[in-house]
Structure 1
Amino acid sequence: MSRRLVCLRHGQTLWNVEHRFQGHSDIPLDETGLAQAARSASLLASLRPTLIVSSDLKRANDTARALGRIVGLDVAVDEDLRERSGGAWEGLTRSEIAEGWPQEFVAWDPPGGEAVADVAARVSTAVRRWAAKLDDDGLLVVVSHGAALRLGICELLGLPQELWSAVGGLGNCSWSVLEEGRRGWRLLEHNAGTLPEPVNSDDSVT
């Protein structure tokens, strides 16, 4: 038996629909997001998670608590699982960002925001910290955000930064499954839970 990890992105928010950069802004789930959280919870409950931890932002925490209610687990909260800070871009649409910061938009580098390497290190460190609490056959569900999870997964897999764009984004209430082996974490499943569709996220994979 080996320890497993499910990385679950939060459900839909109004800002997702409007293509606004959310970052650290504490935007709640909309009605669709609440339904997505309930659906993903019913599916992931069958994996019998032993530990659930979420970002402190409401959209992630409410998604996590939907699962916690079904499986009878409390949800731990870790601020290090927050989304990438968007600095001056938070609350703005992609078109507004492109108009105001054309060069930074191409690089997807928000003024006053976090560097992708810093986000990857922050999230992966938090995941490793919580995974260390698992029994040998335990399952940790981490409920976080699109960019935060993608970057954290890349770091957990040991991918060099120049290859991070090869890993696609996560749709709302979609998840990735990782398993710990003798040589570290390996990716078993990515962006599961939905049919292929456009991903509306704070992330940009080029």
Structure 2
Amino acid sequence: MTASRVILWRHGETAWNAQGRYQGQADVPLNDRGLAQAAAAAVRIAGLRPDRIVSSDLGRAATTARELASCTGLTVELEPRLQEINVGDWAGLTNDEVFAAHPDFAAALRAGRDAQRSASGETGAQAGARVAEALLDIAEGSPDGSTVVAVGHGFALRVAMVFLLGLDYAHNLTLGGLWNASWSVLQPGGESWRLLSYNNVADPV
């Protein structure tokens, strides 16, 4: 069995998104704008006739997913592997704060290299591989011809997408960041998928 479409949907905005803070796996809820974004996007995604909804178990993603469930009558399945990159004790910090405390990390990012997010966190490649593996399992575990919505997080989804397209980590820099509540559509094809559309959004909220 294999789904014919996988829709990757980033959660709506949180207060930490608006403030430019690292979230990682901290369970930060949607703010009012994020709730409105999720509701607006859910109506659009429901029009794509999804057959299954799988979400990260972090609250901001699961709440976003439930907006689509309310439009479609589908049940939300929780998948912890879809969580955002683990940033350890950097959660809650801004880029400026992280760069000031860890200039080597800042230099690596500016040079386009991957690096571990805090001593206890993941690298970008580790997070992307984890999410890509989950998406492969989700696609292959869905009925032939079905459309699956996977709800997750901006950075980890973007890197996973690059890996599923058969590209290496550095190519994630060629894609713009995923906007809050945006969705992208991929066509599974074993370990080399096709990107059909990217960073779609509902009317601005």
For normalisation by structure 1, the TM-score amounts to 0.89
Decide whether the 8 Å contact of 2:131 with 2:157 is kept in 1.
yes
Aligned AA (1:178): L
For these two proteins, the number of residue pairs brought into alignment is 196
Post-superposition offset of 1:16: 0.4
Shift of 1:184: 3.5
By how many angstroms is 1:180 displaced? 2.5
Contact kept in structure 1, 2:40 and 2:203, CA below 8 Å: no
Mark the runs of 5 or more structure 1 residues left unpaired by the alignment: 197-206
Paired amino acid for 1:15: W
How does 1:55-70 map onto structure 2 within 5 Å?
55-70=56-71
SS in structure 2 of the partner of residue 47 of structure 1:
coil
Q: Give the unaligned 5+ runs of structure 2.
A: 110-114
Give the ranges of 4+ consecutive aligned residues of structure 1 lying more than 3 Å apart after TM superposition. Answer: 181-184
Task: Pick which of 86-95 and 138-147 moved more.
Answer: 86-95
Question: Could you tell me which amino acid in structure 1 is paired with residue 118 of structure 2?
Answer: P
Residue matched to 1:23: 24
Report the equivalent of 1:122.
Answer: 130
- Native 8 Å contact 2:14 2:29 kept in 1: yes
Q: CA deviation at 1:88?
A: 2.7
**Aligned residues of 2:3 and 2:139 also touching (Cα < 8 A):** no
- The range that moved more, 34-43 or 160-169, is 160-169
Alignment of 1:98-137 (within 5 A): 98-108=99-109, 109=115, 110-112=117-119, 113-137=121-145
> Residue 178 of structure 2 corresponds to which residue in structure 1?
170
Residues 171 and 194, structure 1, Cα contact 8 Å, conserved in 2: no
8 Å CA contact 2:24, 2:85 repeated in 1 = yes
Q: Secondary structure at the residue paired with 2:193? A: strand
User: Which of 157, 162, 166 pairs up with 1:158?
Assistant: 166
Shift of 1:107: 2.4
Give the match for residue 95 of structure 1: 96
Distance 1:182 1:61, change over 3 A: closer
CA distance in 1 between partners of 2:36 and 2:25 (Å): 23
Greater displacement, 161-170 / 142-151 = 161-170
Q: CA deviation at 1:45?
A: 0.3
Deviations 1:5-42 (A, max 9, x none): 10000000000011000001000000000000000001
% of aligned pairs identical?
A: 43
- Measured in 1, the distance between the counterparts of 2:3 and 2:180 equals 27
Distance 2:95 2:122 in 1: 17
Taking structure 2 as the reference length, what is the TM-score of the superposition? 0.90
Indicate the residue corresponding to 1:191 in structure 2. Answer: 199
Distance verdict in 2 for CA 1:64–1:183, change over 3 Å: closer
Q: Once superposed, what is the RMSD of the aligned Cα atoms?
A: 1.9
Instruction: Provide the rounded CA distance (Å) in 1 between the counterparts of 2:122 and 2:189.
Output: 31
Mapping of 1:139-154 within 5 angstroms? 139-154=147-162
CA contact (8 A) 2:41 2:202 kept: no
Shift in Å at residue 115 of structure 1? 1.1
Going from structure 1 to structure 2, the CA distance change for 1:130 and 1:183 (only over 3 Å counts) comes to closer
Q: Is 1:14 aligned to 2:22, yes or no?
A: no
Q: Report if aligned partners of 2:139, 2:188 keep a CA contact under 8 Å in 1.
A: no
Tell me how far 1:194 sits from its aligned partner. Answer: 5.8
